[in-house]
Amino acid sequence: MKVTIYGSGYVGLVTGACLAQVGNDVLCVDIDPRKIEMLKRGESPIYEPGLTDMLRANQEAGRLRFTLDPAEGVAHGLFQFIAVGTPPDEDGSADLKHVLAVAESIGEHLEEYRIIVNKSTVPVGTGDRVRQRTAEVLARRGVNVEFDIVSNPEFLKEGAAIEDFMRPDRVVIGTDNPRTTELLRALYTPFNRNHERIVAMDIRSAELTKYAANSLLATKISFMNELSNIAELLGANIEHVRTGIGSDPRIGYQFIYPGAGYGGSCFPKDVRALEQTAIQSGYTPELLHAVEAVNFRQKRKLGDKIASHYNDQLKGKTFALWGLAFKPNTDDMREASSRVLMEWLWEEGARIRAFDPEAREETARIYGTRDDLLLCETPEEAISDADALIVITEWNMFRSPDFDAIRQSLKEPVIFDGRNLYDPGFLAKQGFTYYSIGRATARP
């Protein structure tokens, strides 16, 4: 099948590469010349495990191409996927200017039947707005061309996006036309062979499903972080509590890990957008507000522990920071807990020696060259002559380090762990003062 995808960011590239991988003819359209040139050279503008190899393989096979020309995109694909960004507006609501700009471009060049598929995460009612904008442009042109609107939200985890697309838990298709449902079902047939994964519904329900899923997952994280703060005050161990409640199949183990707060491009933005949607509809979403409030506070939890340990005397201190990305297996630093912590440490007069296996370039892009930030090539370089070690992203390479080498490199054997990677009793025996989340401080 012929597929056009507008937007060559995270969702657009993963969708395009995976659809091409199963034999479709995919054309990706973007307005950024630099990005298109990178992609034509076989280079990915984002880090996602396995993505670069898949992009190159499908380009070489002729199933995946890139262009700046929207007219070419409209002419190419029966399926017109919109996968552009919906950044938060000042009030937290989703900004739809990019989505509606694509709808306008499609309307300007539409000559025959097309299916316009919203892959971007959008508020309920966006399908109606895309339909209206496209129809307005067609009317202005004085042409009458049939088209359909579909909501097909993505459920991709950064760091595991290809696996999620190729073996999805579900494929949500929101339509108001049974014919369109069947056409989307045919497109997704290669990903639907083991058992039925298509969940068909109306457009507005599909739009709400995406926000509901992310908001519920964010709620689980904030609940566990709230519980971890209570556990510390009560002298309980949150990791034991997590195991105890996770064994209940009604709860499960996923997304109940306490830590330094959630980040990324989805959870923070989507919780706020759903909150604003509710407010605009005349409803006060108290739980959604609390989820964000807890997360805001949790991102400052490690800073509180650091300030307490040093009696608020941080000026001139140097901290080794392991992890910069908001989660492992990505270079994405949007809403990352590391950014909140670093910016606070800088305000307090501290210096940072940071290492992340993928996000150093993104960190340099965000912060530029600073005297109080050294981006290191190895974890060992980061801890060299630092006052203490802070762990804030749970990369696998941090899970079993050489603690003897860490103790010898640090000025003091102190670790602040925002992801509970290590055993407090073991570190105490190794001579460390060890701070974690929802557990008592371990001391030698």
Handedness of CA 427, 439, 248, 199 (dihedral sign): negative
CA distance 48 to 255: 21
Specify the pLDDT at position 116.
98
CA distance 253 to 224: 11
pLDDT band at 94 (very low <50, low <70, confident <90, very high): confident
Q: What is the residue-wise DSSP string for 7-27?
A: --SHHHHHHHHHHHHTT-EEE
Specify the pLDDT at position 196.
86
Specify the pLDDT at position 86.
86
Q: Which of 18, 28, 266, 376 is catalytic?
A: 266
Give, as one character, the DSSP assignment of residue 45: S
Specify the pLDDT at position 31.
95
Distances (CA, A) of 336 to 185, 330, 339, 362: 36, 11, 6, 12
- pLDDT above 80 (res 35): yes
pLDDT band at 124 (very low <50, low <70, confident <90, very high): very high
- Token pair belonging to 115: 């299916």
Are 160 and 130 in contact, with CB atoms under 8 Å apart? Answer: no
Specify the pLDDT at position 91.
72
- pLDDT above 90 (res 395): yes
Specify the pLDDT at position 190.
93
Q: Give 112: exposed, middle or buried? Use CB within 10 Å, 0-12, 13-18, 19+.
A: exposed
pLDDT band at 74 (very low <50, low <70, confident <90, very high): very high
Q: Give 165: exposed, middle or buried? Use CB within 10 Å, 0-12, 13-18, 19+.
A: buried
CA distance 241 to 331: 31
The pTM score is 0.92
Q: What is the residue-wise DSSP string for 207-237?
A: HHHHHHHHHHHHHHHHHHHHHHHHHHHHT--
Specify the pLDDT at position 39.
95
Has 28 been annotated as catalytic?
Answer: no
- pLDDT above 80 (res 416): yes
- pLDDT above 90 (res 11): yes
Q: Which residues pair with 351 in a beta bridge?
A: 318
What percentage of the chain reaches a pLDDT higher than 70? 100
- Token pair belonging to 406: 């860490």
Lowest-pLDDT range, 169-178, 191-200, 211-220, 294-303?
Answer: 191-200
Give, as one character, the DSSP assignment of residue 93: P
